């Protein structure tokens, strides 16, 4: 904690995430298996008594200063909407939230598909929860963060990223059932098996509010409606046979991906992390072919990582850019990293960022 003039300023932070498997199913009542990264978004926050919200960030650039009463759908625009939107959602749910000064002092890499937006939302949520003495359960904070993103920013995302940022614990992946919101901590410590998860940021940036994400979500909802089901969670491959040709592959991805999450969790529960590689590969193939959310750079990263010794690899997050993950024996980390960098250089692409992912803790107070 530090003091700036009369104000007491404290720090809170929330992590980015990768999703091990269960992609694009969080808006279809499916199962996801994210884990939190060591990379965190840090906010310094202090209460204001005049009902205004100010925010600035060196990484994002620019800042805002507006009355909380003026926060709402589309306002403020840009990155500050994720932060202000959380206060708006908490107030809208009846919680006594007032003005705040916010400084974002470090961020999860932006636009890398590692959930920098949810990290910002969730850091603000835990700050507001403590500063205004709300004492809310984490799942309720997660709901406020999702509303900020859906209603203030206007991105029709599901709730996986916010659940990951708020509920993940170190050394675990979070099994999230988005049908009832239930969660289970699944022990996940790749280093214990001589493995590492590499995160390969392709440096291709994509905005989840640009229409493609919403189009996939709309297709899934259309497919459930056509089948007369509340969601595709309980659909079988046979159920899908009557769907139109444009909806069939989208629905097939959802149904097959949910099944793969169950298989991965069973293998992890049985202590067989080394055996999940083919399921990661199948997830990527499904996302690329059936769901059409990959891109050439992600496909290249995944293929080269496998060829250089990864046990399995897939895109992670919303896709159309962002990051891929690869499950790699520790003795192959350098070989895989070098091979991916060399392949990107040969193809004339921007050099990717490659880092190892450490299953880390969720959001909290830093000092
Ligand atoms: C993005 C969204 F924000 C998540 O809700 C999820 O749908 C993910 O893409 C794909 O699994 O990160």
22 in contact with ligand 1, CB cutoff 6 A: no
pLDDT at 8: 67
Q: Tell me which residue range forms the domain holding 22.
A: 2-185
24 in contact with ligand 1, CB cutoff 6 A: yes
User: What number does the ligand 1 atom closest to the CA of 158 have?
Assistant: 5
User: What number does the ligand 1 atom closest to the CA of 115 have?
Assistant: 12
At residue 16, does pLDDT exceed 70?
yes
**Domain count of the chain?**
2
Instruction: Identify the residue whose C-alpha is closest to ligand 1 atom 9.
Output: 318
- Give distance in angstroms: CA of 317 to centre of ligand 1: 5
For residues 240 and 148, state if they share a domain.
no
Give residue-wise pLDDT tens across range 311-336: 999 999 999 999 999 999 999 999 99
For residues 170 and 223, state if they share a domain.
no
Q: How confident is the model at residue 227 (pLDDT cuts 50, 70, 90)?
A: very high
Residue 22 lies inside a defined structural domain of this protein: yes
Instruction: Identify the residue whose C-alpha is closest to ligand 1 atom 1.
Output: 318
pLDDT at 209: 63
Whole-number percent of the chain with pLDDT over 90: 93
What average pLDDT does the chain have? 96
Answer with the one of 140, 158, 185 that is the final residue of a domain: 185
Residue 367 lies inside a defined structural domain of this protein: no
Residue 363 lies inside a defined structural domain of this protein: no
User: How far apart are the C-alpha atoms of 143 and 31, rounded to whole Å?
Assistant: 17
For residues 170 and 212, state if they share a domain.
no
Lowest mean pLDDT among 15-29, 210-224, 330-344: 210-224
157 in contact with ligand 1, CB cutoff 6 A: yes
Q: How many helices (H) and strands (E) does the chain have?
A: 9, 14
The alpha helices in 94-196, defined as continuous H runs, are 116-131, 138-147, 160-167
- The C-alpha angle with vertex 155 and arms to 152 and 159, in degrees rounded to 5, equals 95
Whole-number percent of the chain with pLDDT over 70: 97
Rounded to an integer, the average pLDDT of 113-136 is: 97
Q: Residue 76, preceding bond cis, omega within 30 degrees?
A: yes
- Give distance in angstroms: CA of 114 to centre of ligand 1: 10
- Give distance in angstroms: CA of 32 to centre of ligand 1: 10
For residues 164 and 265, state if they share a domain.
no
Answer with the one of 168, 185, 202 that is the final residue of a domain: 185
């Amino acid at each position: 904690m530090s003091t700036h003039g009369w104000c007491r300023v404290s720090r809170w932070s929330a992590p980015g995430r990768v999703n091990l498997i269960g992609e694009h199913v969080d808006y279809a009542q499916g199962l996801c298996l994210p884990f939190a990264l060591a990379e965190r978004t840090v906010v310094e926050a202090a209460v204001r008594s005049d009902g205004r919200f100010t925010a600035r960030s060196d990484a994002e650039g620019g800042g805002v200063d507006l009355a909380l009463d003026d926060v709402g759908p589309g306002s403020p625009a840009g990155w500050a909407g994720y932060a202000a939107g959380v206060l708006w959602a908490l107030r809208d749910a009846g919680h006594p939230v007032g003005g705040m000064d916010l400084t974002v002092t470090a961020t999860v890499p932006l636009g890398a598909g590692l959930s920098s937006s949810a990290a910002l939302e969730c850091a603000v949520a835990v700050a507001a929860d403590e500063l205004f003495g709300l004492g809310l359960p984490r799942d309720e904070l997660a709901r406020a963060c999702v509303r900020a993103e859906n209603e203030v920013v206007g991105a029709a995302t599901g709730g996986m990223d916010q659940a990951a940022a708020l509920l993940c614990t170190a050394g675990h992946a979070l099994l999230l059932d988005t049908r009832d919101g239930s969660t289970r901590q699944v022990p996940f410590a790749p280093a214990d098996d001589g493995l590492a998860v590499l995160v390969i940021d392709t440096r291709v940036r994509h905005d989840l509010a640009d229409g493609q994400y919403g189009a996939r979500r709309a297709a899934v909802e259309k497919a459930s409606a056509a089948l007369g089901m509340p969601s595709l969670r309980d659909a079988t491959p046979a159920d899908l046979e009557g769907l139109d040709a444009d909806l069939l592959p989208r629905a097939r991805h959802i149904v097959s991906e949910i099944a793969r999450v169950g298989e991965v969790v069973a293998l992890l529960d049985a202590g067989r992390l080394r055996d999940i590689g083919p399921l990661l590969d199948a997830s990527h193939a499904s996302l690329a072919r059936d769901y059409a959310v990959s891109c050439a750079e992600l496909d290249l990263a995944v293929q080269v990582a496998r060829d250089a010794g990864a046990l399995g690899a897939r895109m992670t997050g919303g896709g159309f850019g962002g990051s891929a993950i690869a499950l790699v024996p520790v003795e192959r980390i350098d070989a895989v990293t070098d091979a991916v960098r060399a392949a990107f250089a040969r193809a004339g692409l921007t050099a990717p960022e490659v880092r190892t992912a450490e299953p880390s803790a969720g959001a909290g107070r830093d000092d």
